[in-house]
């Protein structure tokens, strides 16, 4: 009995933090803490998966711009978009078999419109454009699309002033789609289109 009474307490020098309890000299931790002294907090981001470039902080997803929701899976609709460049990627070599101009190629320029309103009419045109080349137009300032879910129209013309310009072809498009992410390059090339374009765009939320 005497020996037993003198036995050292194995928990005498053991400190258990964060609500842990010492049992036989070892800490029994609670609330997800771990470590010899229950000093290591639980990894609250374990098992939290944040999509679309989001990252976990304190167990909660912090989403990148344009995304929301508990795991950043939902897109935030942009309030507007901007077109920073328009590339003409193809156009017909002839006007129904005849040349666009009497003795030379088409002098191309695009026009962007929304409904019946012209939003941008290229101030410059490319003389004698070659149908096997691509042509870049850079609006300055960039074109604001204030209604990204509306249908816009981009058309290509052959400059013929003082005669009326010839319409060469065009594409209808809706700039923003709630399920396609936020691409910065948009190809406007529906099958069968005589004239096709490639846009570079940015988003404003
Ligand atoms: Ca012309």
- Residue 113 alpha carbon to ligand 1 centre in Å: 21
- Checking if the pLDDT of 8 tops 90, the result is no
Residues 189, 178: contact at Cβ < 8 Å? no
pLDDT at 1 over 60: no
Tell me how far the alpha carbon of residue 29 lies from the centroid of ligand 1, in angstroms: 82
Tally of CB atoms within 10 A around 32: 13
Instruction: Kindly give the distance from the C-alpha atom of residue 160 to the centroid of ligand 1, in angstroms, as a whole number.
Output: 4
Query: How many angstroms does the Cα of residue 133 sit away from the middle of ligand 1?
Result: 17
Average predicted confidence (pLDDT) for the chain? 94
Whether the pLDDT of residue 192 is over 80: the answer is yes
Q: What would the mean pLDDT of 55-64 be, rounded to a whole number?
A: 95
pLDDT tens digits, 122-137: 999 999 999 999 999 9
Give the distance (Å) from ligand 1 centre to CA of residue 99: 10
**Mean pLDDT confidence for 157-175:** 96
DSSP state of 44: T
Q: What is the pLDDT of residue 6?
A: 62
The two three-digit tokens of residue 36, written as one number: 């010899």
Name the pLDDT band for 26 (thresholds 50, 70, 90): very high
Q: How far is the CA of 136 from the centre of ligand 1 (A)?
A: 18
CA of 175 to the centre of ligand 1 (A): 30
Q: Which two tokens stand for residue 50?
A: 């944040």
User: In this structure, how many other beta carbons lie within 10 angstroms of the beta carbon of residue 38?
Assistant: 22
With a cut of 90, say whether residue 71 has pLDDT above it: yes
Q: Is the pLDDT of residue 69 over 80?
A: yes
Residue 3, pLDDT score? 54
Mean pLDDT in residue range 59-81: 96
Give the separation between CA 135 and CA 193, rounded to whole angstroms. Answer: 17
Q: How far apart are the CA of 51 and the centre of ligand 1, in A?
A: 50
Distance (angstroms) between ligand 1 centre and the Cα of 18 equals 81
- CATH 2.60.40.150 holds for 80-204: yes
């Amino acid at each position: 009995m005497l020996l037993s009474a003198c036995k050292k307490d194995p928990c005498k020098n053991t400190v258990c933090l964060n609500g842990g309890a010492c049992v036989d000299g070892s800490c029994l931790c609670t609330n997800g803490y771990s470590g010899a002294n229950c000093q290591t907090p639980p990894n609250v981001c374990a098992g939290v998966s944040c999509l679309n470039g989001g990252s976990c902080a304190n167990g909660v997803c912090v989403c990148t711009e344009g995304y929301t929701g508990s795991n950043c899976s939902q897109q935030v609709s942009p309030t507007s978009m901007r077109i920073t460049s328009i590339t003409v990627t193809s156009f017909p070599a002839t006007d129904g078999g005849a040349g666009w101009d009497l003795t030379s190629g088409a002098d191309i320029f695009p026009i962007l419109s929304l409904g019946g309103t012209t939003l941008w009419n290229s101030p410059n045109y490319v003389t004698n454009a070659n149908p096997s080349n691509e042509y870049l137009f850079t609006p300055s300032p960039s074109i604001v699309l204030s209604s990204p879910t509306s249908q816009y129209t981009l058309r290509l013309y052959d400059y013929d002033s003082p005669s009326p310009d010839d319409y060469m072809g065009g594409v209808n498009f809706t700039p923003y789609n709630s399920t396609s992410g936020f691409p910065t390059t948009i190809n406007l090339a529906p099958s069968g289109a005589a004239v096709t374009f490639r846009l570079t765009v940015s988003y404003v939320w």
